[in-house]
Amino acid sequence: MTEQLNSEQILVRDDGFHPLDIAAEVTLAPDTTPEELVDHLHRAVIAVDFPTFSDGRGFSLGRRLREIGFTGRLRATGRLIADQYAMARRVGFDEVQIAPDIAARQPAQQWLARA
């Protein structure tokens, strides 16, 4: 587990912070329609964008992707905060991608406490 990383983006997983290891094949906007989701089920990594921490539509998209059979890596990306990590995991996200400014304000211990 790495406490602080100097990369552009950081992945949060149940065991702490990690460098971004693989780019998502597609990033879905929070207003993506359920009909559009089926076009992406074949992908290995899908990211769902959370433009602000108060926009929870991405949680519904993540849950819906799992319900319709997506088995790849599901990543929440954007302006999430540590308090939202448990919800992201509960609805089917494997990891959360955060910017360095969020990681600086909320170190790995805060994310791990919610894992």
- Evaluate whether residue 75 is within a structural domain: yes
- Evaluate whether residue 53 is within a structural domain: yes
| Count of the separate structural domains present in the chain | 1
φ, ψ at 70 (rounded to 5°): -70, 125
The β-bridge partners of 49 are 77
Instruction: Assess contact for 98 and 80: CB atoms under 8 A.
Output: yes
Structural domain of 104:
10-112
- Enter the pTM of the model: 0.89
**Angle 10-13-18 (CA atoms, 0-180°, nearest 5)?**
35
- Evaluate whether residue 1 is within a structural domain: no
Q: CA nearest 97: which of 38, 40, 47? A: 47
| Structure tokens that stand for 58 in this block | 């991405």
List alpha helices for the chain, DSSP H: 34-37, 57-67, 85-90, 100-105, 108-112
- Evaluate whether residue 89 is within a structural domain: yes
From first to last of its 115 residues, the chain has per-residue pLDDT tens of 334 444 489 999 999 999 999 999 999 999 999 899 999 999 999 999 999 989 999 999 999 999 999 999 999 999 999 999 999 999 999 999 999 999 999 999 999 999 8
- Evaluate whether residue 97 is within a structural domain: yes
Residue 101: partners with Cβ closer than 8 Å, 6 or more residues away? none
98: CATH: 3.40.50
- Evaluate whether residue 2 is within a structural domain: no
The β-bridge partners of 95 are 75
